[in-house]
Amino acid sequence: MKPLALLSVTDKTGIVEFARGLLDAGFELISTGGTGRLLDEQGFEVTSVSYYTGMPEILDGRVKTLHPRIHGGLLARPEDAKHQEEMDELNIRPIRVLAVNLYPFEQTVLRGSPPDEAIENIDIGGPAMIRAAAKNAMSVFVVTDPEDYPRVLEAIRSGDDSIRESLRAKAFRHTAFYDALIAEYLSDEPTDAPPTLTVPYRLRQSLRYGENPHQSAALYVRPFEQRGVASANQLWGKELSYNNILDAEAAWELASDLFYSFESLIRPVAIIKHGNPCGAAWAGDPRESFRLAREADPVSAFGGIVAVPGELERSTAEVIAEKGNFFEVVICSAASDEAVAVFRERSGWGQDVRILAAGAPPRGSFTSIRGLRGAALVQSADVEPKTSEWKVVTRSRPERALEPAMRGAWTVVKHVKSNAIVVCSPKSLLGVGAGQSNRVQSVRLALGQAGESARGAVLASDAFFPFADSILEAASAGVAAVVQPGGSKRDAEVIAAADEAGLAMVFTSARHFRH
């Protein structure tokens, strides 16, 4: 008696050729619905699952393969005499090849279908068959990826069983990913620490290496999260590296935050180097914003990442590509053909710079997952609290003209590694102190970078000042106002120092640690 192969696929890619190869190898085909009709149209001899089981499809096709003749055929052990005896008694034939891929739940959700249609596209019989075949993979070739059809046919022809374990693992990854997609769709973001967390990631691209050449790396994306650098369309330039992606994400998040902090009334630009802002500006014209952002630290900006929310036009591209500049990535919402041509036609780094179109600037929280050895830390992303919660705590009130500087400084500082200090003018970042073990050292670094421009500027801190020393440093540099969360046991001492120096100070009641 011929061995059985059961084919039931939503993705029909390559299935005709696979079926032909199975027939040539002496298999008898059984199939369901659309797959069966396609094979029948090709002139192949194929038996419907309903005919094979003696049971029609019921409940609008919700039940068709959930039957002992199917699952018995997939799960029976050929070396087990008792299994063979039961199979013979119940007229169940062993199924030696199973090719199944699942209902298009993901595609149904992504095209904006209503929940009832999405639920209807949750496959039940398919995962059950895949899991059964994968459990019995030493007896059944379980195939969930059309790319595996040729190597399965070759294994059948050669008698090579070495691919069975890899097919088994791939099958369980396939069903696990599918179930994770469904769980994500049906769940809110896990801000309340659910007892289990399943997150679906699909490989988008393998990377040449990780942070360093001896580390392997790849980029995976969550199909239902369509925003950000990972989903951006690369319009020009060479392949992105691991570090490019990290820095581009940091630049895009900062530029997007600035975009919404000013209620889309400005065209901000952010420049990131090694994960920290080295330039940021929020003028009305992106060309002015770029110039101001670069002026904050031209040395660090060289070789950095530039983010420009909104469409990148030729005039802005020309400013970015001016002689003396060099950037690894330029990321924007969209770019005109003329803007891309500026880099394409520019000799040197213009030929290599990556141009990414990431769509609308992202807004709102998302789940942040950081891997540890054998574990993960999960949190909601840091979303900016409303400025209406800010409170002036000093006798002096900030001048109205400083409001853009305060808003910009408080937006930028949350994107700087702690301990974080920034100094800002009403239009741009002037100085950054990042990643220091003590806060006063970050203050000195930020003020030193700002230089004389610190006079009349705003200084922001990602967390409270534990001592008055930082306030004294700011006052001596001529800073006009300070933005900080407050909450220290020595707040009164810090406020008194600000009052004595004539500084205005605002408490935000929110912290922006970034580790």
Which tens digits make up the pLDDT trace of 105-126? 999 999 999 999 999 999 999 9
pLDDT for residue 500 is more than 80: yes
End-to-end CA distance of the chain: 65
Q: Is there a single domain that holds both residue 175 and residue 236?
A: no
What is the identity of the amino acid at 325?
N
Give the best-scoring range by mean pLDDT among 32-46, 356-370, 486-500: 486-500
Side-chain half-sphere exposure of 492, counting CA atoms within 13 A: 1
Q: Measured on CA atoms in the order 367, 368, 370, 371, is the torsion positive or negative? A: positive
Measured in degrees and rounded to the nearest 5, phi and psi for residue 331 equal -120, 135
Evaluate if pTM is beyond 0.75: yes
373: in domain: no
CA dist 376 and 304 (Å) reads 29
205: in domain: no
Q: Is there a single domain that holds both residue 392 and residue 320?
A: no
CA dist 219 and 206 (Å) reads 6
Q: What is the pLDDT of residue 311?
A: 96
Q: Is there a single domain that holds both residue 148 and residue 261?
A: no
Q: Is there a single domain that holds both residue 147 and residue 23?
A: yes
Number of domains in the chain: 3
The DSSP annotation for 314-342 comes to: HHHHHHHT-TT--EEEEEEEEE-HHHHHH
Q: Is there a single domain that holds both residue 20 and residue 73?
A: yes
Q: Is there a single domain that holds both residue 158 and residue 85?
A: yes
pLDDT for residue 191 is more than 70: no
375: in domain: no
The single residue of 12, 83, 135, 170 carrying the catalytic annotation is: 135
11: in domain: yes
Q: Is there a single domain that holds both residue 408 and residue 348?
A: no
Q: Is there a single domain that holds both residue 346 and residue 235?
A: yes
225: in domain: no
Q: Is there a single domain that holds both residue 397 and residue 345?
A: no
Q: Which residues contact 370 (CB under 8 A, 6 or more apart)?
A: 376, 377, 378
Q: What is the mean pLDDT of residues 269-278?
A: 96
Q: Is there a single domain that holds both residue 96 and residue 157?
A: yes
- Mean pLDDT, rounded, of the chain: 91
Q: Which domain holds residue 429?
A: 386-507
The residue among 155, 186, 217 that closes a domain is 186
Structure tokens at 266: 């400005």
Q: Is there a single domain that holds both residue 164 and residue 40?
A: yes
CATH at 105: 3.40.50.1380
pLDDT for residue 308 is more than 90: yes
217: in domain: no
Residue 70: which pLDDT band, with cuts at 50, 70 and 90? Answer: confident
503: in domain: yes
pLDDT for residue 388 is more than 70: no
CATH at 448: 3.40.140.20
The single residue of 273, 274, 386, 414 carrying the catalytic annotation is: 274
What percentage of the chain has pLDDT greater than the value 70?
Answer: 98
The length of the chain is: 515
194: in domain: no
Q: What is the pLDDT of residue 386?
A: 63
Structure tokens at 217: 């790396």
The residue among 357, 375, 397 that closes a domain is 357
Active site (annotated) includes residue 170: no
Q: Give the Cβ contact number of residue 501 at 10 Å.
A: 18
Active site (annotated) includes residue 274: yes
CA dist 436 and 32 (Å) reads 64
Bridge partners (DSSP) of residue 422 are 432, 460
Q: Is there a single domain that holds both residue 409 and residue 452?
A: yes
